[in-house]
Amino acid sequence: MTVTLGVDLGGTKIQVVAITNRRVVGEARHLTPQTDAQAVVDEIIAAAREAAGTGTVKAVGVGTPGSITSEGHVSMAANVPGFMHDVPLGPSVSKAFDGVPVTVDNDVRAASMGEFHRGAGRPFRDLLGVFVGTGVGGGVIIDGKLRRGRGNAGEIGHTVVRDGGRECTCGRRGCLEAYAGRMSIERAARRKQADGAQTVLFDVMKRKGRDRVTSSVIAEALDRGDELTRSLIDQAVDALGIAIANAQNILDVEAVIVGGGLGDRLGPPFVRRVAEAMRPRLRVPEHEPAVLTTQLGDLSGAVGAAVIAGG
């Protein structure tokens, strides 16, 4: 059996799928080593071998954060140890699998392709994917084709929703990510708590044994009626509504898919609220796009990377 592998490289975990005849026939999930680039590359190869099992690997697709060269080198990926500087990721993976073709693409664009071809986006000709995790990334597929631009298309997370507003991880102000990204939500909660606001958010975090406010920590704080968390999520919903409506007014796509850790964890009720926040800002509200959750969940990225590699 021949398989195409899809790898989703993240700061926390490495997810791999093996695909044959458009079906996932193998899976592996490893933690991302927190040491150096060589350890990360070795772990990707180990996870890939595990997912491939006895299959013959014919191609590998990798979705990664950061900047990517046409030769499959990666840099500027702040979340992945050692990946701020140039890492020859594509060539290293290819070498480990007897020189098979390896395509390296942006992780969020890969996830959008995964949902478009194998997930919630299948009924549609075009798609805006919005992935709300540590940060907020986007992928635009128009008439079936992934929009790469000159390498930087899809950055909906850094469109301005409130000019001069909350500071963003990118150093500018008022971006969507400054309101909807998990890291920004955590920072805002810490600031509010330091200013005297009451919240169970960090108690939940500690009780869950986490050192950061994950999507599941946010979900539990919401379930427990935490006011501060509710107000921060209200702002995130509003920011997503503005940014998605702005993109839709320009692109007029058939569907918007809201995924990522927060989108997947908070699920349909959250995504419905985002659609409600979008609607009044649409130029043609009677022609709104379908706004959907992902179908592949946290496999979107790995499946999409395999799709891009021809799997």
Instruction: List interacting residues with a second copy (CB under 8 A).
Output: 126, 138, 140, 142-143, 145, 147-156, 158-163, 170, 172, 238, 242-243, 245-247, 249-254, 280-281, 283-284, 287
Give the tokens for residue 57: 């690997």
Please state the closest distance from residue 163 (CB atom) to a second copy, in A: 6
8-state DSSP, 181:
S
Q: How far apart are CA 129 and CA 114, in angstroms?
A: 10
Rounded to the nearest 10 degrees, the angle between the axes of helix 182-194 and helix 227-251 is 140
Q: How far apart are CA 2 and CA 98, in angstroms?
A: 14
Q: Residue 195 or residue 287: which is nearer to a second copy going by CB?
A: 287
Q: Residue 171 or residue 225: which is nearer to a second copy going by CB?
A: 171
Q: Residue 107 or residue 238: which is nearer to a second copy going by CB?
A: 238
Q: How far apart are CA 107 and CA 123, in angstroms?
A: 22
Q: How far apart are CA 308 and CA 41, in angstroms?
A: 20
Please state the closest distance from residue 135 (CB atom) to a second copy, in A: 11
Q: Residue 200 or residue 251: which is nearer to a second copy going by CB?
A: 251
Give the tokens for residue 135: 């940060």
Contact at 8 Å (CB) between 166 and 174? Answer: yes
Q: Residue 156 or residue 299: which is nearer to a second copy going by CB?
A: 156
Please state the closest distance from residue 126 (CB atom) to a second copy, in A: 8
Q: Residue 33 or residue 157: which is nearer to a second copy going by CB?
A: 157
Q: By three-state DSSP, how is residue 176 classified? A: helix
Please state the closest distance from residue 174 (CB atom) to a second copy, in A: 9
What Rg, from alpha-carbon coordinates, does the chain have?
A: 19
Please state the closest distance from residue 202 (CB atom) to a second copy, in A: 30
Q: Residue 27 or residue 252: which is nearer to a second copy going by CB?
A: 252
Q: Can you list the pairs that 221-225 forms with residues at least 24 positions away whose Cβ atoms lie under 8 Å? A: 222/266, 224/200
Distance of CA 268 to the CA centre of its chain: 17
H or E element, residue 178: helix 176-180
Q: How far apart are CA 154 and CA 264, in angstroms?
A: 20
Please state the closest distance from residue 251 (CB atom) to a second copy, in A: 6
Give the tokens for residue 300: 């979107």
Closest CA to 91 of 108, 110, 68, 112: 68
Q: Residue 63 or residue 154: which is nearer to a second copy going by CB?
A: 154
Please state the closest distance from residue 205 (CB atom) to a second copy, in A: 30
Distance of CA 197 to the CA centre of its chain: 30
Give the tokens for residue 180: 């909807």
Please state the closest distance from residue 125 (CB atom) to a second copy, in A: 10
